[in-house]
Amino acid sequence: MSLAINEEPLLKVDDLKVHFTLTEGFMQKPVGSVKAVDGVSFELRHGETFGLVGESGCGKSTTALAVLRMQPLTGGLIEFEGNDITQLEPHQMRPVRRRMQMVYQDPFSSLNPRMRIRDIIGEPLLVHGLATDRRSFRARINELMDMVGLLPDMSDRYPHEFSGGQRQRIGIARALALEPSLIICDEPVSALDVSIQAQVLNLLMDLQRELGLTYLFIAHDLSVVRHISDRIGVMYLGRIVEIAGRDELFARPKHPYTQALLSSIPLPDPTLEATRPQQLIVGEVPSPKTPPSGCHFHPRCPKVMDVCSVHSPNLERNQAGPFPNHSDESLVACHLYDASFGRGDRETET
């Protein structure tokens, strides 16, 4: 990735907040709020894949919906292609949505069962008034089907005639119809069988190369995210705890949550598994209704310090950590790496 540092990012998300109000009783009296997304910041560079990982309820899908402005924001700023889109009215969002499209998780419920494939793929063109004459409309649909590896003569069929992997291809073709620059993929392969997952991942990567697409790739499967992403953000209970380049994150995970997450994935190699130390973290993700004070991870953190339950750490450049490296762009939200408290992993480094 030889991108100039000063190049304007495609998407800039700054201090994004999405809070849901909890109500009680007939009068819908507000009794509190769930901070589903609570101060998330990240940038997407042109042509890259940014992976967003985390366990269920961490706010990764809500972040995606908020970026598309399909979810009302509580606060924060979203800049897309250089324009602030945070305050745009729905009709002003319409041209923007041509540039950002979404691929959904479930290929069974995200396609209308009563529509033919060509109508599903062609609908965005109709909605945005891009279908000028019948012949070029048909030609465009055939071209899109061809791009995702579907035979154009399947275009009269209905979704139920397709397998999960083929349906996901239809969803991708629909997302490509408007020639977007950003595609948000929300768990695009998690509903698919292993052998089909690989086909869809390869397709997404091929399309990125051919069309120069930028992906925001949301998933809980770390090995899938590692495979496709250039940079990765790790979320925990509504906040990003670490952002790093793919190789950096997997070679030297900094946040204790990232470390635990990585060691929780069983590797497909019994010999390696037998020797690998398992760092199990205790407990489960707490309810986002009552998140722990300070750093949300502190009750489960094996390296917890006094400060962790009081102050929430900022997502910052790794300064005091054990791996001082000026080319390291990674950001981490952990007091261990904070110069005033930090001791990092230094004691374990020899």
Partner 1 sequence: MSSDALLDIEHLSVSFRTDRGKVRAVSDLSLSLKRGETLAIVGESGSGKSVTALSILRLLGDNGVIDHGRVAFEGQNLLSLSPDEIRRIRGDRIAMIFQEPMSSLNPVLTIGKQVAEPICLHRDKNWDEALEIAVELLTKVAIPDAKDRLDDYPHHFSGGMRQRVMIAMALACEPRLIIADEPTTALDVTVQAQILALLNDLTEQSQTALILITHDLGVVARYADRVAVMYGGRIVETADAKELYANPQHPYTVGLMASIPGIEGDAGGRLITIDGQPPDLADLPSGCAFATRCQHAHDACRTSIPALDPVEQNPSHRSACFGYPL
Residues that bind partner 1 (CB under 8 A): 55-56, 163, 165-166, 193-199, 201-202, 205, 220, 222-224, 226-228, 246-247, 250, 260-273, 278, 280-282, 284-285
Neighbours of 145 (CB within 10 A): 21
Question: Nearest distance from residue 318's CB to partner 1, in Å?
Answer: 21
> Distance (Å, rounded) from C-alpha 152 to C-alpha 101?
22
Nearer to partner 1, 88 or 154 (CB): 154
C-beta separation of 176 from 144 below 8 A:
yes
Torsional class of 153: left (φ above 0), alpha (ψ -120 to 50), beta (otherwise): alpha
Q: Which is nearer to partner 1, 7 or 284 (CB)?
A: 284
Cα 265 to Cα 230, 241, 248, 250, 278, distances in angstroms? 20, 19, 17, 12, 10
CB of 229 to partner 1, least distance (A): 8
88 or 211, CB closer to partner 1?
A: 211
Smallest separation (angstroms) from partner 1 to the CB of 47: 13
CA distance 44 to 10: 6
Using the minimum distance from each CB to partner 1, give the nearer residue, 13 or 240. 240
Euclidean distance between the first and the last CA atom of the chain, given in angstroms as a whole number: 32
Residue appearing with tokens 């402005």: 69
- Residue 29, SS3 per DSSP: strand
For residue 57, the minimal CB distance to partner 1 (Å) is 9
- Least Å distance, CB 199 to partner 1, is 5
Closest Cα partner for 55 from 192, 218, 201, 185?
218
- Grouping H, G, I as helix, E, B as strand and the rest as coil, residue 79 is strand
Closest CB to partner 1 among residues 178, 196:
196
Q: Which is nearer to partner 1, 197 or 312 (CB)?
A: 197
Phi/psi for 197 (5° steps) reads -50, -45
Tell the smallest beta-carbon distance from residue 283 to partner 1 (Å).
9
Residue 94 beta carbon to partner 1: minimum distance, rounded to whole angstroms: 35
Residues recorded for the chain = 350
Choose between 62 and 166: whose C-beta lies nearer to partner 1: 166
Report the run of H or E that residue 94 belongs to, with start and end. Answer: helix 90-97
Distance of CA 74 to the CA centre of its chain: 20
Residue 349 CB, nearest approach to partner 1 (Å): 21
CB closer to partner 1 out of 109 and 202: 202
**Gap between the Cα atoms of 44 and 51, Å rounded:** 10
**Which residues are within 8 A (CB) of 194 and not within 5 positions of it... i.e. 6 or more apart?**
none
